[in-house]
Amino acid sequence: MAKTITLSNTKLQSIVITSLINKDGVPSGSASNINYVVCDDKGQDALFKNSQKYTSESEYTDDIMSENAEKHLKAFMEEMRKLMVEREEL
């Protein structure tokens, strides 16, 4: 279920985290894609923005996320995997 969260003058629209696989089928890091809207002083949508970043082990050399962001992303992914295994009894 989609949910909109407003932080300051920013509405977070979506966060997508993708595990990357290289052409040989070997895992090669992750990508995060964040869509958000910046609001004006009256709360009206003013500007749609998108941010895409990659973890350091990916094959992409541009738009690498910071070390701190990567640490948090990996911790989040690990916790989500645990919850999925627990919930789905995998």
**Residue 17 predicted with pLDDT over 80:** yes
48-81 burial, b at 16+ Cβ within 10 Å, e below that, comes to eeeeebbbeebeeeeebbeeeebeebeeeeeeee
Rounded Cα gap, residues 40 and 31, in angstroms: 29
Token representation of residue 22 = 């290289």
Scan for tokens 């709360």, then name that residue. Answer: 43
**Residue 36 predicted with pLDDT over 70:** yes
Question: What pLDDT is stored for residue 88 in this prediction?
Answer: 80
Averaged pLDDT, 12-21: 91
Token representation of residue 89 = 């009894």
Averaged pLDDT, 66-71: 92
